[in-house]
């Protein structure tokens, strides 16, 4: 059946010059393999500009994430090449150059500014932060980003020092974040533009506070808790960007006999790199 359907839709595309969203949905419903649908799109081009609504229609019909990503990226590729066929209402001369890649590996590195209890523990000392990420476009202006971040702070606990006059209390806090973010805006998938996002993840917080004269009060503890993040970024070009990110978690930290809530919050200012 599908061998008969594919030439039928191909003939319609040849007559119309492009593939419509309705044709893609019908092929998905008729169980035409993704590879055959993609080959047809490569050969004939698209008659429409994919939007969040059209992508959702394909997904609701049973289309996979691979297919919707391919449809979106194919439309970008069409717009980037003036010689390819495109819909008359979308002149290719106004389209931005685009990559056909569906995944972007990346790095981020910058400074992390401690807030709340973290700020008090390290006496406001900032830390170098770095990490890796993977950007996955899912539709026009939307992307998923799994990410990992590290930061290591060192300072003096001024609050404890006020309780123990004449004693220098060195403190060290290490954080490890692993989570997923949802990004929206032109810069989330295009080569330039602003974007914003929210995320959820788990964060491990390790706190070490040295009290040489009061070893029983020393702290060397770690705890892992769920956390959240909010971010605002700007993609300068296809490789470089800037990002401000606020994250927080609320682990329980203390000695072996007594623990308390530790508000672990920070603002990271990062330079981002797409590979």
Average pLDDT over residues 39-57: 84
pLDDT recorded at residue 232: 97
**Helix spans in 30-114 (H):** 34-44, 52-60, 65-80
Q: Which of 22, 192, 183 is nearest to 99 (CA)?
A: 192
pLDDT recorded at residue 79: 55
Domain chopping of the chain, boundaries: 2-94, 104-274
Q: Which of 185, 60, 94, 96 is nearest to 135 (CA)?
A: 185
DSSP one-letter code for 235:
E
Q: How many C-beta atoms lie closer than 10 Å to residue 145's C-beta? A: 20
Q: Residue 206: in which H helix or E strand, if any?
A: strand 193-209
Rounded distance between C-alpha atoms, residue 76 and residue 71, angstroms = 9
Question: Which of 143-152, 181-190, 256-265 reaches the highest mean pLDDT?
Answer: 143-152
pLDDT recorded at residue 273: 94
Per-residue confidence at 196, pLDDT binned at 50, 70, 90?
very high
Rounded distance between C-alpha atoms, residue 241 and residue 80, angstroms = 22
CATH code for 104-274?
2.40.160.20
Tokens at 157, concatenated: 């606990």
DSSP one-letter code for 83:
T
Per-residue confidence at 14, pLDDT binned at 50, 70, 90?
very low
Q: Is the model's pTM score more than 0.75?
A: no
Average pLDDT over residues 108-121: 94
pLDDT recorded at residue 99: 42
The DSSP bridge pattern shows strands 259-261 and 127-139 to be: unpaired
Tokens at 271, concatenated: 């330079």
Rounded distance between C-alpha atoms, residue 246 and residue 173, angstroms = 17
**Max intra-chain CA distance, the chain:** 87
pLDDT recorded at residue 4: 44
DSSP one-letter code for 250:
-
Average pLDDT over residues 156-173: 78
């Amino acid at each position: 059946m599908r061998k008969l359907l594919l030439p039928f839709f191909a003939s319609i595309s040849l007559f119309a010059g492009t593939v419509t969203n309705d044709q893609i949905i019908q092929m998905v419903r008729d169980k035409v393999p993704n590879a055959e649908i993609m080959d047809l799109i490569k050969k004939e081009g698209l008659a429409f500009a994919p939007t969040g609504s059209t992508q959702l229609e394909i997904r609701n019909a049973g289309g996979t994430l691979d297919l919707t990503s391919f449809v979106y990226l194919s439309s970008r590729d069409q717009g980037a090449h003036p010689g390819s066929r495109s819909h008359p209402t979308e002149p290719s001369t106004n389209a931005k150059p685009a990559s056909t890649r569906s995944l972007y590996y990346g790095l981020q590195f910058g400074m992390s500014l401690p807030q709340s209890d973290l700020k008090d523990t390290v006496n406001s000392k900032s830390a170098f932060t770095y990490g890796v990420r993977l950007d996955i476009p899912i539709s026009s202006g939307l992307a998923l980003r799994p990410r990992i971040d590290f930061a290591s702070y060192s300072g003096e606990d001024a609050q404890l020092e006020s309780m123990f006059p004449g004693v220098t209390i060195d403190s060290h806090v290490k954080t490890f974040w692993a989570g997923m973010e949802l990004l929206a805006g032109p810069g989330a998938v295009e080569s330039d533009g602003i974007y914003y996002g929210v995320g959820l993840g788990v964060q491990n917080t390790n706190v070490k506070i040295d009290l040489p004269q009061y070893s029983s009060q020393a702290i060397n503890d770690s705890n892992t808790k769920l956390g959240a993040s909010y971010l605002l970024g700007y993609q300068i070009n296809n490789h470089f960007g800037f990002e401000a990110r606020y994250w927080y978690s609320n682990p329980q930290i203390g000695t072996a006999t007594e623990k308390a809530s530790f508000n672990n919050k920070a603002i990271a200012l990062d330079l981002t790199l797409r590979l």
